[in-house]
Amino acid sequence: MRLSKTSRGLLGKGGNPAASHWNPASAPHGHSVGTGTPVLGLRAIGAQARERCALHSSCHAKECQHMKKLLSAAAVAALSFTATQALAAPMSPSARPVSQHFSPQVQDAFTLLGDTDNLNLVYYVPRRGGVAVQSPSTPSPIPRFQATAFVPTFGYFAGLELANLGGSFSTTSDLGALNKLSQEAAAKGFQIAPAPAARSTTQFLLSGYAPPNGRVEVDCQFEIIVVNGRDVRVPKCFTRIDPTQPYDLDTNVMYKFNTMPTLGGSVVAQDIAFQATTLPGWTPQLRTLMATGAQWDNIMTAQIDWDIKTHNLTRQARFTVNWRSLFEQASTFAAFHLRSCVDIEVRGFFERLVTCSAENTCGIRIEYLNNNVWGPTAPNDANFINVVNAVQNRLQDELFNEVRRYTTPVNGQVSNQTNSIFTLRANYEKLILERNETIYLQYNPGPTDFQVKTNLNVTCLKDGFEMGRVNWNMEDAGCRALLGQP
């Protein structure tokens, strides 16, 4: 059972990400990762310059000036790279599959997309994320998460222990998977960058308990509480682990839950801040989880739905027209429809033409360019529909005249309804010359919406509450692997 709280992503400013070239293990969350010669981000270079001159108070002016020039050069390079990527965009996976170049482990961790312009650029969308971590490559990484308990002295829950939770989720928290993606990309000569997202929706899922199969078994009752002299009916639903146990597991977890929305118009590498207060009764279980570093999937998870605008390849087709045969086909077709065809009938005429492969019989032969070879088979259904539209737009005015039905005009009223029939056109030019013609066309379905998800989990957290700061469970090999550590 899942109870969801949804927050809509706001449309913010952003653009296509430039692929930076630095080690993901040392990168703050929310930045792109690439391959090749290590180049630090602008903030990192500036920090190095300040730290170098601060530690070496006797450093020469020339050395500090050199660091300033380095910072300026990096800024110019970043702006130049961003400008070259301004028109680039992710490709549809069906148009340019790139995941086939990577291992099953990487494909399981990321959704991978190609680029419209740069064949060596690969966009990634993490399938899984978690709590953001500071200094992930150090022996003592710091999770951006805190858990405390308190007992309110007033209000409905006065005298009952509640838990306060706060922190940030990161979509790129699995640095081990990000390192593997970076290494495999470098080996094949690819660059990687987080995919740009047009919109996003974040759902924080507050989990209940479900049996191994079938519908979740629940028992719901109404609790009556008195607020300012009036009765308030509050639904209380409980489930159980198995049929032999009583209904003693409260499906409600959170009393308050606030979160910052993900930003649309940005990239999928983001941190999401949240703050929550649990209902009474959950603090002992949270203490147990924090003592062992176990997963919180039965308490709280999150899911981000990304809407990514992907593009398709521009296709080419050509059709050879035998005008004499084509006019004969049109004449026969018009005669069958009493010389007056409606629009849907004309559409059917062109659909039949497009499926014909002999111009001497049908008047037209269509070929598609696929892998640099011309052939009669359309790459897919969407391409076929685009060619039907293009052929109709090109040839309809050569074959038919549109005649609209006359309606008596009424002063002060303008009719927006069109009732038309189509008759054969006296196309003297095409009929007299009796020549065949080859016409080339290009077509592109345009951008399409591509939906993909990132699941966020809480795991590997220890201490908190009376122990103070929350720490990362470095004793667990799986937790170290999430940080890219052995």
> What integer is the mean pLDDT of 29-38?
40
- 49 SS3 class: helix
The CA distances from residue 215 to 17, 151, 210, 218, 252, in Å, are: 44, 36, 8, 9, 18
The closest of 47, 44, 50 to 26, measured between CA atoms, is 44
More confident residue, 326 or 35: 326
Token look-up 């080690």 returns 23
453 Cβ neighbours under 8 A, 6+ residues apart: 127, 303, 304, 305, 306
Q: Look at residue 449 and tell me whether its pLDDT is greater than 80.
A: yes
d(CA 189, CA 187): 6
Percent of the chain with pLDDT over 70: 65
d(CA 223, CA 219): 13
Q: Look at residue 127 and tell me whether its pLDDT is greater than 90.
A: yes
Q: Look at residue 111 and tell me whether its pLDDT is greater than 90.
A: yes
Q: What integer pLDDT is reported at residue 59 of this predicted model? A: 42
Under 8 Å between Cβ of 476 and 171: no
| CA distance from start to end of the chain | 36
Q: Look at residue 242 and tell me whether its pLDDT is greater than 90.
A: no
| 185: Cα within 13 Å, side-chain hemisphere | 33
| Residues 119, 120, 125: CA angle, nearest 5 degrees | 100
**pLDDT tens digit string along 195-217?**
999 888 777 665 554 555 545 56
In this structure, what token pair is assigned to residue 354? Answer: 């497009």
Of the listed ranges 189-193, 264-268, 415-419, the one predicted with least confidence:
415-419
Q: Round the average pLDDT of the chain to a whole number and report it.
A: 73
d(CA 223, CA 233): 6
Token look-up 């570093």 returns 293
| Residues 421, 422, 425: CA angle, nearest 5 degrees | 150
Residue 25: pLDDT band with limits 50, 70, 90? very low
The CA distances from residue 460 to 136, 274, 292, 478, in Å, are: 13, 18, 8, 9
Alpha carbon 312 to chain centroid, angstroms: 16
- 268 SS3 class: coil
Under 8 Å between Cβ of 207 and 254: no
pTM of the model: 0.59
Residue 274: pLDDT band with limits 50, 70, 90? confident
Q: What integer pLDDT is reported at residue 462 of this predicted model? A: 94
The length of the chain is: 486
DSSP string, 159-225: TS-EEEEEEEEETT--HHHHHHHHHHHHHTT-EEEEPEESEEEEEEEEE----SSSSPPEEEEEEEE
d(CA 209, CA 1): 6
Highest mean pLDDT out of 70-79, 218-227, 316-325, 432-441? 316-325
Q: Look at residue 141 and tell me whether its pLDDT is greater than 80.
A: yes
The closest of 2, 30, 3 to 262, measured between CA atoms, is 30
Q: What integer pLDDT is reported at residue 185 of this predicted model? A: 96
Percent of the chain with pLDDT over 90: 24
Under 8 Å between Cβ of 180 and 110: no
To the nearest 10°, report the CA torsion of 121, 125, 127, 132: 110
> What integer is the mean pLDDT of 54-58?
40
Q: Give the containing element (helix H, strand E) for 369.
A: strand 364-370
Q: What integer pLDDT is reported at residue 177 of this predicted model? A: 93
Residue 179: pLDDT band with limits 50, 70, 90? very high
d(CA 350, CA 449): 29
The closest of 81, 85, 114 to 308, measured between CA atoms, is 114
